[in-house]
């Protein structure tokens, strides 16, 4: 169950990036919030939740960045190999 939520979230982050590329910031914000809520509900790694919170803050503050999305997605993927890895904001 957790792995499916995580995989869906990773795919969702790719969509967030595509929404930003197409300048649909509102949809990027909506989807990023949904992903964060799903991770929270599923009880996934708290560090992933911190990274998603960082992304949501950036999007909400109207500082959307494709690099930020990629950074968060890469970090969450790295948690699979090292679940204690610290998140470093950009």
To the nearest whole number, what is the mean pLDDT of the chain? 91
Q: Would you say residue 66 lies in a domain?
A: yes
* 65: Cα separation from own chain's centroid: 12
pLDDT of residue 65: 86
Domain that holds residue 68: 2-78
According to the 3-state scheme, what is the secondary structure of 7-38?
Answer: HHHHHHHHHHHHHHHCCCHHHHHHHHHHHHHH
Number of domains in the chain: 1
Q: Would you say residue 57 lies in a domain?
A: yes
Q: Would you say residue 87 lies in a domain?
A: no
pLDDT tens by residue, 1-34: 557 888 899 999 999 999 999 999 999 999 999 9
Q: Would you say residue 90 lies in a domain?
A: no
For CA atoms 13, 58, 55, 73, give the dihedral sign.
positive
Dihedral, CA atoms, 23, 49, 34, 57, nearest 10 degrees? -40
The residue-averaged pLDDT of 33-47 equals 90
**Residue 20 CB partners (closer than 8 Å, separation 6+):** 28, 64, 65, 66, 69
pLDDT of residue 2: 58
Q: Would you say residue 27 lies in a domain?
A: yes
């Amino acid at each position: 169950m957790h792995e499916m939520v995580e995989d869906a979230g990773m795919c969702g982050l790719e969509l967030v990036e595509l929404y930003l590329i197409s300048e649909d910031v509102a949809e990027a914000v909506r989807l990023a919030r949904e992903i964060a809520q799903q991770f929270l509900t599923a009880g996934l790694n708290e560090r992933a939740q911190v990274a998603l919170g960082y992304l949501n803050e950036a999007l909400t503050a109207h500082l959307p960045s494709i690099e930020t999305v990629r950074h968060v997605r890469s970090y969450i993927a790295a948690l699979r190999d090292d679940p204690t890895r610290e998140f470093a904001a950009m």
